[in-house]
Structure 1
Amino acid sequence: MIYRSTLLLLVIFAGPVGADVQQARTQVDADNLAAARATLEQQLRSQPDDQSVRFLLARVLAWQGETAAAIPLLEQLSRETPGNADYLLALGQAQLWDGQVHAAIATLEAAAFIAPDYPDIDNAMRQARMALSAPSNRITLSQRSARRRHELEVSLRQDWLDSGFDNWRRQRLDYFSTQAEGIAWYGALLREQRFGEWDEGVEAGAVFTLDQNWSLQPEIGYQFSPFFLPDWYADLRLQRSLAKGFLAAASLRRTEYATSRVERIGLTAERYWDAWRGSYTLNVSDVSNAGTPVGHNASLDYYYAGLSYAGLRLTTGEEEAIEGSQLFTSSVRAMGLQGRHWFEPDWALSWELGHHEQGDYYTRRWLQIGLRHAF
């Protein structure tokens, strides 16, 4: 992990280091965490007040995914030495991996006040803020342990249309895989019914952390024998973390239909403060034979109880739409509410409802329910 070498150097300067701690450090470097833990626990029995032993043991416990055991050790160290930014950094990381996102942000803000130019604190704060940005259509970068985390969600959606149009239905199975300081990837299987026809397809994407500020997210989708969905699409998103909770992103997307094509650029600004996230996106599209629609999306999310959230979505402007196999451009106004509630540590209920006006063509109302399991 990228923090280990830095934090092991901190242990060196925390005080005199015995042979057993040196041995444990060598075992950590060799990624033998079980042996390092045994060495440190044995050393702690003879030197219970040695801060360097307790600090390294807490870090090993966190790296093993046992954050519930690591956090009390790091809290005690922080109380004993209130001005130690390294202890606060390690505590904030453990809280983040444990899913205590709001507590992690508060701890990391205290660390940043003590050491404002500490790059590892900035990096951990970026991860915590990314953990708060958990909209349903983007990968969640939060971690509840240092090990890889997997999530599956099955969801059902029903859309009711007026103006004589048939109602729509959608079924999805989504998979997410994330790991602290590692590559995240995700995919989905989907079935959707419109105009009396069923389309089936797949989606896949990944999130690559380029450095402490930049991340890259490619995504693709493919439909097997589409009637109304596109043949395929490809999306590439580049995101930059900024100061004071701001994020900026740009995305390029190409969507290919049987008889048309849509190319879109999206520019996004986000801001995170306390338990809130606000976002605005400007979308400019080029629709072959159907104009150049410009759309605006805004969102506001409130996070509670870790990663549970509820949010508002607003859309206005113009966008492309499809009737049968015919693509057209029209004005659009939409409002939606969505959220995810973790009622157990590994189980969550996702929900979404909304109202969508597609110019003078139709009005659509929808409800979506999903069940998510983390393992």
Structure 2
Amino acid sequence: MRSHCLALALAASAALLATPTLADVATARQQVEAGQLDAAEATLRTHLAEQPADSEALFLLARVHAWQGQPEQALPLYDRLLRDEPENADYLLGQGQALLWAGRPQAALQPLERAATIAPDYAEVQQVIQQARAALTSPVTATAPIASAPAQRRHELEISARQDWLDNGFDDWRSQRLDYTSTQPEGLGWYGALLREQRFGEWDEGVEAGAVIPLDENWTLQPEVGYQPSPYFLPEWHADLRLQRRLPAGFLGAASVRRTEYETTRVDRLALAAERYWGAWRAGYTLNITDVANAGTPIGHDLALDYFYDGLSYAGLRLTAGEEEAVEEQRLITSDVRAVSLQGRHWLDSRWALTWELGHHEQGDYYTRRWLQLGLRHAF
């Protein structure tokens, strides 16, 4: 009897000692749900001073730091957690999010892709991978779930040259571009380009500019304009407006309207697009419905498939079929098209990348065109 009472006393003492521990973490969760992040941080720090090895409290504190806009403070905690559990997909996801919100999307891809391998059906992992790739491949932004983290702005500059070879007696084409993009995972993105092209023995020069405006964590608006001051074969100007929606399970949906004004005609286009990101892959389809003034309504289809490797490097396939308008000297024509191309971007290190594209295009019975484009990209 005496030993039984002693056992009960010890169990009661243990329960009393455990209760504050459980209560501290539960209290911190309630404070997070109420948006009291500073209070949650204080609660967790007090608890961890007594229980420094509590992985549940460390994980919650790491997320609190990220939600407070302090992702750099979260990263040492994730390193500590992953030393003990390197295959924990939740920890890898949290580390990837913190790196993304710290303005390091390329570094974020490493833990995120590991998490995707460990838990291929983890929808949030796929979503954050999509955000990290988008933050580097185009000026599309991502938003943190509770509080935006101040992220470093990334700038990229690319110079490229392209050569097109045409048959049926058409002169070959040449073009050069200087592209600039500025992206930030939590903010406004913008981009621009200077371009010059040679066709039919004439050179045209122009400029392009656009922005990507995050409306909330799922919607983005992308306006774009282009202008050629004295065009011979390029349009005088174009204006494009794209609305994009992030969807569950790695899907994206988008619609855009575009007007292109030539000296002798006008072209309006509606494009409806869908994309899916999963693992190291991205697939996309676009339906183009074009209204050419006094020349009909051609419809075209574009398919895209990309494979990402070694972080942000990728190789992709593009297919085009249907009808399309084209400029022959100063005359706009519409014809059946078939096109296939391969393209990619290979990062030599965190700052320098090579870009490439080669393709084959059949413009009805008018000509067959083959091309090669090479570029050098620098991030700063």
- Coarse TM-score class (shorter-chain normalised): 0.7 to 0.9
Shift of 1:110: 8.4
Q: How many Å apart are 1:290 and its aligned residue?
A: 1.6
Aligned counterpart in structure 1 of residue 80 of structure 2, from 76, 79, 99: 76
Q: Secondary structure at the match of 1:16?
A: helix
Counterpart in 2 of 1:132? 133
Question: Which of residues 342, 360, 378 in structure 2 aligns to 1:373?
Answer: 378
Q: Is 1:59–1:90's contact at 8 Å kept on the other side of the alignment? A: no
C-alpha contact (below 8 Å) 2:135/2:183 kept by paired residues: no
What aligned pairs does 1:46-61 form with structure 2 within 5 A after superposition?
A: 55=61, 59=65
Matched, 1:289 2:294: yes
Say whether residues 1:16 and 2:43 are aligned partners: yes
Aligned to 2:151: 146
Q: Of residues 350, 356, 359 in structure 2, which corresponds to 1:345?
A: 350
Partner AA of 2:318 in structure 1: R
Query: What is the distance in 2 between the residues matched to 1:125 and 1:10?
Result: 27
> Is the partner of 2:314 in helix, strand or coil?
strand
Relative distance call for 1:86 and 1:135 in structure 2 (3 A) is closer
Structure possessing the higher radius of gyration over alpha carbons: 2
Give 3-state SS (helix, strand or coil) of 1:132's partner.
Answer: helix
Where does structure 2 lack aligned partners over 5 or more consecutive residues? 1-31, 144-149
SS at match of 1:165: coil
Q: Does 1:279 align with 2:295?
A: no
Q: Give the distance between the partners of 1:84 and 1:103, measured in 2 at CA.
A: 10
2:339 maps to which residue?
A: 334
Aligned-partner SS, 2:348: strand
Deviations 1:203-252 (A, max 9, x none): 01111111121111111111111000000001111111111111111110
Would the aligned equivalents of 1:340 and 1:351 in 2 still touch at CA under 8 Å?
Answer: yes
1:177 aligns with 2:178: no
Measured in 1, the distance between the counterparts of 2:308 and 2:243 equals: 24
Count of aligned residue pairs for this structure pair: 337
Structure 2 equivalent of residue 166 of structure 1: 171
Q: Which amino acid aligns with 2:161?
A: L
Alpha-carbon distance, 1:94 to partner: 2.8
Give the secondary-structure state (helix, strand or coil) at the position aligned to 1:224. coil
Residue in 2 that maps onto 1:101: 109
Counterpart CA distance in 1 for 2:59 and 2:321 is 57
Question: Hey, what does 1:119 align to over in structure 2?
Answer: none
1:220 maps onto 2:225 in alignment: yes
Structure 2 CA distance, aligned partners of 1:290 and 1:177?
A: 38
- Cα gap change, 1:201 to 1:47, in 2 (>3 Å): farther
Partner of 1:40: none
**Residues in 1 aligned to 2:136 and 2:167: alpha-carbon distance in whole angstroms:** 28
Q: Distance in 1 between matches of 2:136 and 2:326?
A: 23
Amino acid at match of 1:259: T
Aligned twin of 1:29: none
Q: 1:193 aligns with which of 186, 198, 216?
A: 198
Q: Find out whether 1:322 has 2:349 as its counterpart.
A: no
2:247 maps to which residue? 242
**Any unmatched runs of 5+ in structure 1?**
20-42, 117-121
Aligned residue type for 1:293? P
215-224 vs 82-91, which moves further: 82-91
TM-score, normalising length: structure 1: 0.77
Counterpart-to-counterpart distance in 1, 2:301 and 2:63: 50
Deviations 1:287-336 (A, max 9, x none): 01221100000010000011100000000000000111111101100000
Deviation of 1:13 after TM superposition, in Å, equals 3.1
How far apart are the structure 2 equivalents of 1:374 and 1:78? 29
What is the rounded CA distance, in whole Å, between the counterparts of 1:306 and 1:82 in structure 2? 19
**CA apart distance, 1:141:** 4.8
| Secondary structure in structure 2 of the residue aligned to 1:344 | coil
Closer/same/farther in 2, CA of residues 307 and 195 from structure 1, 3 Å limit: same
* Contact 2:95-2:111 at 8 Å conserved across structures: no
The code of the aligned residue for 1:76 comes to R
1:57-85 superposed Cα distances (whole Å, 9 cap, x missing partner): 9947x96886xx86453132366699999
Q: Is the 8 A contact 1:92 1:103 kept in 2?
A: yes
Q: Which segment drifts farther, 204-213 or 193-202?
A: 204-213
Equivalents in 2 of 1:101, 1:7: separation in Å?
Answer: 31
TM-score of the two chains, using structure 2 as the length reference: 0.76
Q: 1:232 to 1:212 in 2, by over 3 A?
A: same
| Aligned-pair CA distance for 1:183 | 0.6
Q: What amino acid maps onto 1:339 in structure 2?
A: G
The letter for the 2-side match of 1:245 is: G
**Matching residue's letter, 1:73:** L
For 1:355, which of 360, 365, 369 is the aligned residue? 360
Pairing partner for 2:269 from 252, 264, 268: 264
Name the CA distance, whole Å, in 1 between partners of 2:151 and 2:370: 41
Distance 1:352 1:153, change over 3 A: same
For 1:155 and 1:6, the matched residues in 2 are separated by: 49
Q: Which amino acid aligns with 2:374?
A: I
Secondary structure, in 3 states, of the residue corresponding to 2:112? Answer: helix
1:363 deviation in Å?
0.5
